[in-house]
Structure 1
Amino acid sequence: MPISGGQSRKTTSTWRNRLKREWLLGLFAVIALILAAIDPQPMARYQQWLQWPTLCGLLGLLIAIQGIRDSGLVQHVAGALVARVHTLRGVGLLLVSMTAVLSTVLTNDVSLFLVVPLTVAIAGMSNLPALRMAILEALAVNAGSTLSPIGNPQNLLIWQHAQVPFLHFVGAMAPTTVVMFVLVAALTWCWLPRDRVQLQAERLDGHRISAWLATLSLAGLAVMVLMMEYGRAPLGALLLVLAFAFFSTRSLARIDWFLMATFAAIFLGLGHFAALPAIGRLLDGIAFDRPWALYLSGIASSQLISNVPATVLLLDRAPNAMALAVAVNVGGFGVAIGSLANLIALRLAKQPGAMRLFHQVSIPFLLICAPLVYLVTRLLA
């Protein structure tokens, strides 16, 4: 059947509106193309910057979480949770604490994939503000993951480079984590309304659970986390794609492929930018042996190229690897690309005006957190 002119215009308009919302993808795609034109590199460098294992890990997590959502399990858990906590501030502190604790053992992105969909489900059946909570959880995951060597990619890189014992790393990062989390908890208490939780009964009921899809998705999530832990993320993603293609094509079709493309463009653009000779010459003029210079450099570079590329860029130049860990973890606050976990949280929340409100909160948070962390760590040094 031929497509009518009205249908064609509607489809074109839908795609145009979607592309407008994907401005971050467009921005970094343009940056990657410009850098490729003015500074062409061998294909092996682009493959290195693309971070294929990380993209595969993200795909596997997206598939598993979409399956959990479609199974109705998240809505069921959300209903049980809000039925037992009676104030918005209580729910908020519980979710923020859960996010921070999970991020110390399951990494920052995995904890967000677990908690943010739960938060959105709670907001859908109550008066909990979903966007505020997603922003608070993005801040909380940066705070919690700071504590552990396996909490986030930058910590893992620094831990492997510095070759320090696990508990030594935790002890060195504990003061920073405490300052961060206290600030996040205080913001949660002040920013959320004092109101009691108001349940919408018609949304609380009627969420049927698909036991087989919930089982498949939870098993897939566990498999994906293990595969990522042992460096087999591409194999894990392939297994999940095959399993869902056979058992739940609907969940597979609803994956956020634009998010995958956005991360690929960010990896290519930021990776190439960090490798430019001009950036290397600029860094050669910085006295990294001065604590304040290393601290500010870690934060500033995280704001420009995200904290994982910043860690790669500065690791061989930093005389104190643990001081660099403090700096790049603090640098996860501020602009959204400071930590890619911020982008994941905002994307999972799917709320209008998310980026604007995030920056209105996160940039002042960085300006308060950065000097406090520096003072505390220097006093305890």
Structure 2
Amino acid sequence: MRTIDFFKKDFIFTISLLLALIFSIFGKFDVTFIDLKTIFSLFGLMIVVKAFERLGILAVLAEKIIQLSKTTRHLVGYLILLSFFSSMFLTNDVAILSLIPIFITIVRKVKDFPNIAYSVVLFIMAANLGSSLLPFGNPQNLFLYSYYHLTIIQFISWMLPLALFSLIILFFLHLKIPKQTLSIQKKTSRPSFENKKLFLPGLSFLLMVLAVIGIVPYIYVVPLIFVAFFLGDKKVLAKLDYRLLGTFVFFFIIVGNLTEWEVLIDTLPAIFLHPLTSLFGAAFVSQVISNVPAAILIAPFGSEVQAVLLGVNVGGIGTLIASLANLIGFRLFQLYMPHLKVAFLKKFTWLNLLVFIVLLLASAIFICY
């Protein structure tokens, strides 16, 4: 039963494992299919992010936001900004995992908090869009940054217009939240952490940034960080989502086999030959298979790098399966507010569809001009 529960917990992991086994049996298993730099970098970043998460940094920031907020609109706006900017460094998944429970805790202390489902949809959207600006903000960026050997300046310059435009859209969308006076019925707990505990995660994060942008070799940095936490804080390593690493390995095996299919070899290069077709192709493929496997699938055929990057990042906005962060957000909201599940899905669908279309058209203008 425990084994069954393990596989039932993560649908994407289970499906990718089964497909990887099928492709390995009927195709081939080749270690060179696996991008070791992406796997190592992802592992190192996961350790650092989990360490920050255990310190409760986002919870402390959220507490400060509660103190600053005079109305419900102020609160939602500040949390959108926190989700947007924290996701650049702590990844979109962690931003969502941390902020939604905090928001729900606040909601339960405020009488008749308006537009709860709508607010959570905005938080998820902010995390997806904010994470697009930096290579380590989300897994697809980390992979594409490594695969195409980009520089950090080049990456940011390509993604900055999307991030800024997204922030403007989020600002206007949050205006729908009424300016209801915020009165907390019961004081929230005051989370805190010891500054000295920041040293190891802070130093590790700096080393990982240097490794991702190619200043120091990742092959030495990641094992060093692993050993440091193994000796200093084993609980961080115990709490890592190893299924995510496994899912990436399985994606690489699946896509490695797919890229040897003659029908794809003949078809995909033609689709991803031009900027607009690359942009729209990457965005729409993400809607169907999620943006991480879409990035891995498209990378060998996509010569228009900026368009592919924009496509998979815009592609995280859309369907519920377009991004793993979307599924995480939905599962969390369903856990805390099951009676609002239908309302959430309705708002998520129409709002994401609207923003997806707007950002896709805006991205088309960015790459054309």
TM range (shorter): 0.7 to 0.9
Matching residue within 140, 155, 165 for 2:126: 140
Alignment of 1:282 onto 2:270: no
Counterpart amino acid of residue 63 in structure 1 = K
Matching residue within 13, 29, 48 for 1:41: 29
Deviation at 1:333, TM superposition (A): 1.6
Deviations 1:214-268 (A, max 9, x none): 4444444344334333364454443343333333334443333444444444444
Secondary structure of the residue aligned to 1:41 is coil
Secondary structure of the residue aligned to 1:338 is coil
Secondary structure of the residue aligned to 1:204 is coil
Inter-partner Cα distance in structure 2 for 1:60 and 1:229 = 18
1:113 paired residue number: 94
Inter-partner Cα distance in structure 1 for 2:230 and 2:211 = 19
Inter-partner Cα distance in structure 1 for 2:185 and 2:200 = 30
Deviations 1:278-302 (A, max 9, x none): 32233256484483x3333122222
- Against the structure 1 CA distance between its residues 166 and 235, is the aligned structure 2 distance closer, same or farther, given a 3 Å change threshold? closer
Deviation at 1:95, TM superposition (A): 2.5
- Against the structure 1 CA distance between its residues 60 and 151, is the aligned structure 2 distance closer, same or farther, given a 3 Å change threshold? closer
Instruction: Number of aligned residue pairs: give it.
Output: 358
Let me know the Cα RMSD of the aligned residues: 4.5
Deviations 1:52-87 (A, max 9, x none): 224323432343234313xxx544433222111133
Inter-partner Cα distance in structure 2 for 1:348 and 1:233 = 33
With structure 1 as the length reference, what TM-score do the two structures score? 0.70
Deviation at 1:93, TM superposition (A): 1.7
Secondary structure of the residue aligned to 1:82 is helix
Secondary structure of the residue aligned to 2:35 is helix
1:4 paired residue number: none
1:245 paired residue number: 230
Inter-partner Cα distance in structure 1 for 2:147 and 2:226 = 31
Deviation at 1:194, TM superposition (A): 5.3
Deviation at 1:111, TM superposition (A): 6.1
Whether the 8 Å contact between 2:211 and 2:217 is mirrored in structure 1 is yes
Runs of 5+ consecutive residues of structure 1 not aligned to the other structure: 1-11
- Against the structure 1 CA distance between its residues 269 and 220, is the aligned structure 2 distance closer, same or farther, given a 3 Å change threshold? same
Inter-partner Cα distance in structure 2 for 1:201 and 1:322 = 49
Q: Percent identity?
A: 21
Deviation at 1:272, TM superposition (A): 4.0
- Against the structure 1 CA distance between its residues 277 and 240, is the aligned structure 2 distance closer, same or farther, given a 3 Å change threshold? same
Alignment of 1:52 onto 2:59: no
- Against the structure 1 CA distance between its residues 226 and 89, is the aligned structure 2 distance closer, same or farther, given a 3 Å change threshold? farther
Matching residue within 20, 26, 30 for 2:8: 20
Deviations 1:340-372 (A, max 9, x none): 555676788894679998865555445323443
Inter-partner Cα distance in structure 2 for 1:337 and 1:145 = 17
Deviation at 1:42, TM superposition (A): 2.6
Alignment of 1:368 onto 2:366: no
Deviation at 1:311, TM superposition (A): 4.5
Counterpart amino acid of residue 142 in structure 1 = N
Inter-partner Cα distance in structure 1 for 2:233 and 2:155 = 45
2:51 paired residue number: 64
Deviation at 1:193, TM superposition (A): 6.5
With structure 2 as the length reference, what TM-score do the two structures score? 0.72
- Against the structure 1 CA distance between its residues 339 and 28, is the aligned structure 2 distance closer, same or farther, given a 3 Å change threshold? same
Counterpart amino acid of residue 241 in structure 1 = F
Whether the 8 Å contact between 1:131 and 1:351 is mirrored in structure 2 is no
